[in-house]
Amino acid sequence: MPTKSIKIVVEGGNVKPGPPLAPTLSQLGLNVGEVVKKLNEATSSFKGMTVPVTLEVDTSTKKYDIKVGIPTTTALLLKEVGASEPSGDPKNKKIGNLSLEQIVKVAIMKKPSLTAKSLKAAVKSIVGSARSIGITVENKDPKEVIKEIEEGKYNDLLSKYENQWNEVKE
């Protein structure tokens, strides 16, 4: 069965049936409206965010599989903090504050694309990303929060999410 892989980047829940997607789907003999509807359903949880998607199309049967990727760490953090773009000056201009629980949520979502071997390491990485785009964590400079994580201050909180972390497939 010959398959064709189409990699696209779409706005979650807002895929439009126009170029360059529509001509490509038409060439493969797929119903553009149906595919767009399914793409919107599959990406609806990432509404307004840029999401990588792979369409695996069996060219002989016209059956297809939609594989939704994970948005960037920056996109997830911006959504979490309710901002539209990163701070142009993260050192002096803050765009919001997140709780460590929100950071853990982002770390768990990103697990498949992270190289971190533990939840603690993943959280420290996400906290670092938050710092680089102007987000404070627990109303503090993220650098301070990373130190506190290393000192074990948040071990109880992290252990609450350890099972969720372990359940995510890499």
What's residue 1's pLDDT?
Answer: 58
Distance between CA atoms of residues 40 and 11, nearest Å:
9
105 and 61 within one domain: no
124 and 48 within one domain: no
93 and 139 within one domain: yes
**35 CB neighbour count, 10 Å cutoff:** 22
Whether 130 and 103 have beta carbons less than 8 Å apart is answered as: yes
94 and 34 within one domain: no
34 and 86 within one domain: no
88 and 61 within one domain: no
What's residue 41's pLDDT?
Answer: 94
pTM for the predicted model, two decimal places: 0.79
83 and 152 within one domain: yes
Q: What percentage of the chain reaches a pLDDT higher than 70?
A: 99
159 and 115 within one domain: yes
What's residue 45's pLDDT?
Answer: 86
Q: Domain span at residue 48?
A: 3-68
139 and 89 within one domain: yes
91 and 10 within one domain: no
Chain segment 2-36, per-residue pLDDT in tens: 889 999 999 899 999 888 889 999 998 999 999 99
Q: How far apart are the first and last CA of the chain?
A: 28
Distance between CA atoms of residues 59 and 29, nearest Å:
8
Asked if the model's pLDDT at residue 44 lies above 80, the reply is yes
Whether 104 and 124 have beta carbons less than 8 Å apart is answered as: no
Report the mean per-residue pLDDT for the chain. 92
What's residue 102's pLDDT?
Answer: 96
Chain segment 75-122, per-residue pLDDT in tens: 999 999 999 889 989 989 999 999 999 999 999 999 998 999 999 999
What's residue 2's pLDDT?
Answer: 82
Q: What percentage of the chain reaches a pLDDT higher than 90?
A: 76
158 and 92 within one domain: yes
| Backbone φ, ψ for residue 78 (5° rounding) | -60, -40
- 13 vs 1, higher pLDDT: 13
Total structural domains within the chain: 2
